[in-house]
Chains A and B, each alone.
Chain A
Amino acid sequence: MTDERLLVKASRGDEAAFLTLYERHRDAVFRFAYRLLGSTELAEDVAHDCFLSLLKRPQGFDPERASLKTYLLAAARNLAMKHFRGQRGEDALEDLASEPPVPERRGPLHRLLDEELAEVVRLAIETLPPLQREALVLFEYEELALGEIAVVTGTDVGTVKARLHRARRSLKRQLAPYFKRDAEAGVVDEVLK
């Protein structure tokens, strides 16, 4: 059954239909929210509010414009942006040109641990401006197409490309010591295994 039909049924009180719909998109919404906000609690709240807003206003979803997954990710993104605005203000969102500071790194002995390396990556991504971060997360982790990312973020494909480019350039700069050195030491191969 299509998402649209399930949504119609769910909005009329069909709990089974709603659960089916929820299970289809729960993980994607939560993952995206988590990677944007970096917090399980915040991601849970965003995912919850995201589905609740869909229930309260199902007519806001237009199947002609995008899929339900895209719609939910856009809702999650808007909620996350609201959180960012409350925390940092509008300027931080739009300050795409500003270069983030290099995150604090631990000693070389601990970097070999995967968890720590993952933490380094997380911190590096978290230091990205939110607009770059969301573009990177949607592209690299949710594997959305550029057009879909443009729909979610409410911009055009060119802007998405520019944000992705800046995000990757910034990350390369921050993570260069790790993956260059790791590549030389064959650590990357182990990680890939």
Chain B
Amino acid sequence: MSDNKDPLSIYSSHDRARDSADPTEEQGLKALFQLWSVPKTPARLDWRIIESYRQQILQGDRQEVFMKHCPTCQEEFANKFSFCPVDGTPLDELTDAAAPTEPARVIPPVPFGVTAGAASMALVPAGEYRLTFVDDTGLTRRLVTELKQVAHSSELTWPEFKRDPFGYSKRFVTGYGSLVWRFFSQRNVAIATSAALLVVLTASIGFVVYGRYLEGRAALAERESDLVVEQLISPDEIPSEIEEQEKPDKAIGTGQGGRVGFNKGRGEGSKPKFEKAGGGGGGGQQDALPAQQGRIPPPSEIAAKIPTTPPVRPPLLPVAGLDIDPALYKNQPYDRFGDPRSKSTATSAGPGTGNGIGSGTGAGIGEGQDQGFGPGRGGNMGGGDRNMGGGGPGGGTGNNGTDYSRTFSPKEVNVKARILSRPEPQYTEEARKNQVSGTVVLRAVFSSSGQVTNIRAVSSLPYGLTERAIAAARQIRFSPAMKDGRAVSQYIQIEYNFNLY
């Protein structure tokens, strides 16, 4: 730009050469320019300008009279608007010059502080107790007035926002920030706020400390409880499979969530590992006699008091009871612990090992292993693995979880269905006339009840031959398939050949 200020630089070299401008000439020209001075700006202009400005402003004020007023947002808008551009409220005509163009004149602003408090008290009749902040209309009105005043002085209007959003935001923060600061910088408010914060802080710290104290007490009680369990159950008496399990599962009655046998092996004494799966019961104490008749201890979730006067030696059943599902537990009409299935009334823990009751091993009851009840392994009642079908909700049935009501394929059954009689279908007249021959393939179910059901044609022939084949299939007599000694339904495919020769 400095080059541009040099008069010579603005000319082309051609012009420069043509004019053959020399510095003396340029200097002389510049000096001549400086001779032409301008008279001082007349003072009359100042007066004219000021007068015009005042007239302009006054005219603007007069024009505001013809603007419209929004009763909701208390803003004024040009006469061309029928509804408030901010909130859509129908605008009022302001035909009277005395209309409240300035809210501050109508509602004298009451600043926050001592004066405001005094004004508030003056609004409340003597002896009347104002319960809440909302109930005190005077305070609410003053707050609204303050907010409106800030909005007015900071020009927080919708048109302003549309015109300059950044400036609007800045004025918003500045205006309301100064209002909040003015409010909280008052002595009384500052003291009250500090006191409230102090109370809240103290209460919070108190709650935290009290919570820590309760946790400490609970942990101490838990440690004492663990100590009692360890004293009651010696390590030698804990079944080996339980020992192999993780610590939470060693403590009987403190399983990791869920009821026994219901939560995918996360119950007591059970892990989702195949080799540690449970089910069934435990053994006796190598007595000559069979296990005595009696009731089984309650599930481990129910506190049990192990009787101290059992047969010869007290069975060392788990202190908290057997590891069985509480849903499967039923009180037995016996006054002592034993195997409820036993017929023996003689005092005996059974020929098994493991200090349980029965012929198995472990601390349970029955022929099985571990601390369950029954012939299986692990916890719970039943004949199978605890979490492999025998120890689940149907653990008592001991059917390995097989649903015998469904239809099996021939490969799944132990003994396939055997056809005893199979009537042949007859040709229809139309098929014979039309020389139709071929094979109809049907798929059906030989149900466990001896009926042929669910017949479907896989391959069909026209002129009624398929219907004839289905009718013949319905007349088949058979012996049902067998699985695990039970009659079960089985899928079967039947073919009927139709030949004319």
Instruction: Give me the interface of A with B, judged by CB distance under 8 Å.
Output: 10, 13, 15, 18-19, 22, 26-27, 30-31, 34-35, 40, 44, 47-48, 51-52, 55-56, 114, 117-118, 121-122, 125, 139-141, 143, 145-147, 161, 164-165, 168-169, 171-172, 175, 178-180, 182-183, 188, 191-192
In the complex, what residues of B have CB within 8 A of residue A52's CB?
49, 52-53, 56
Report whether B45 and A44 are in contact in the complex, using a CB–CB cutoff of 8 Å: yes
B82 to chain A, nearest CB (A): 24
- Are the C-beta atoms of B38 and A34 separated by less than 8 Å? yes
Interface centre among B38, B52, B56 (most CB of A within 10 A): B38
Chain A CB within 10 A, most for which of B1, B4, B60: B4
Q: Does B27 contact A (CB under 8 A)?
A: yes
B50 within 8 A of A: yes
With contacts A146-B4, A175-B32, A191-B35 taken as known, whether A26 is within 8 angstroms of B19 at the C-beta atoms is no
Find out whether the CB atom of B39 lies under 8 angstroms from the CB atom of A34.
yes
A113 to B411, CA, bound (A): 134
Quick one: closest B residue to A149, CB to CB? B4
Q: Are B29 and A118 in contact (CB under 8 A)?
A: no
Q: B25 near A19 (CB under 8 angstroms)?
A: no
Q: How far is the CB of B159 from chain A (nearest CB, A)?
A: 12
Contact present for B53 and A15 (CB under 8 Å): yes
Min CB gap A37→B, angstroms: 11
| Shortest Cβ distance from B164 into A: residue | A8
Q: Would you call B31 and A192 a contact (CB within 8 A)?
A: yes
Report whether A30 and B38 are in contact in the complex, using a CB–CB cutoff of 8 Å.
yes
Complex Cα–Cα for A40 and B52 (A): 19
The reply to whether B29 and A175 form a contact with Cβ atoms under 8 Å apart is yes
B60 contacts which chain A residues (CB < 8 A)?
13
- Measured in the bound complex, the distance between the Cα atoms of B57 and A30 in whole Å is 23
Contact A179 B31 (CB under 8 A): yes
Q: How far is the CB of B175 from chain A (nearest CB, A)?
A: 16
A155 to chain B, nearest CB (A): 14
The interface of chain B, by Cβ under 8 A from chain A, is 1, 4-5, 7, 10-11, 15, 19, 21, 24-25, 27-39, 41-42, 44-46, 48-50, 52-54, 56-57, 60-61
Using A118-B35, A143-B5, A172-B29 as known contacts, say yes or no to A56 and B10 having CB atoms under 8 A apart: no
Q: CA of A114 to CA of B7 in the docked complex: distance in angstroms? A: 24
Residue contact A172 to B19, C-beta cutoff 8 Å: yes
Q: Are B31 and A161 neighbours in the complex by a CB distance under 8 Å?
A: no
- B28 lies within 8 A of A183 (CB): yes
**Is the Cβ of B32 less than 8 Å from the Cβ of A121?**
yes
In the complex, A118→B39 CA distance in Å? Answer: 12
**With A143-B5, A168-B29, A183-B28 as given contacts, are A40 and B39 in contact (CB-CB < 8 Å)?**
yes
How far, in angstroms, from A161 to B3 measured CA to CA in the complex? 13
Complex A-B: 7 CB contacts under 8 Å: A13-B61, A30-B38, A35-B36, A48-B52, A55-B56, A121-B35, A179-B28
Q: Is the CB of A145 within 8 A of B5?
A: yes
Closest chain B residue, CB of each to CB of A136 = B33
Given contacts A30-B41, A35-B38, A168-B7, contact A48 B49 (CB under 8 A): yes
Q: Which residue of the partner chain B has the closest CB to A119?
A: B36
Q: Would A188 and B36 count as touching, CB distance under 8 A? A: no
**B7 CB contacts on chain A under 8 angstroms:** 139-140, 164, 168
Q: Are B42 and A188 in contact (CB under 8 A)?
A: no
Query: Complex: how many Å from CA A175 to CA B7?
Result: 17
